[in-house]
Amino acid sequence: MTVGSALARAWDQGQEVDLLVEGVWLGGRISALDGMGVAIDGGDFERYVVRLEQVSVVRIRAFATAPAVSGRHSDPLGIEDVA
């Protein structure tokens, strides 16, 4: 998966993201995305426009609706939940 495809999926699903750009985390909701860059609406009326090639990491907030290990079994390591 590429940075662009991860951002496109997050944008389609209305999820907030955090981007690592030159050692600085920028976060918010994607307001625009094209083949060259992404615009992120952050808090306090901030907007970040970043070239995709500058993004090192994409962190998608609230991607999962449930924790990876549900805790419903007596297995404390969650080994039974691993496929």
Predicted confidence (pLDDT) per residue in 32-70, tens digit: 999 899 999 998 889 999 999 999 999 998 755 555 444
What is the SS3 assignment for the chain?
A: CCHHHHHHHHHHCCCEEEEEECCEEEEEEEEEECCCEEEEECCCCCEEEEEHHHEEEEEECCCCCCCCCCCCCCCCCCHHHCC
The model carries a pTM of: 0.71
pLDDT-based confidence at residue 25 (cuts at 50, 70, 90): very high
Question: How much is the pLDDT for 62?
Answer: 76
The pLDDT of residue 21: 97
User: Is the CATH number of domain 3-60 1.10.600.10?
Assistant: no
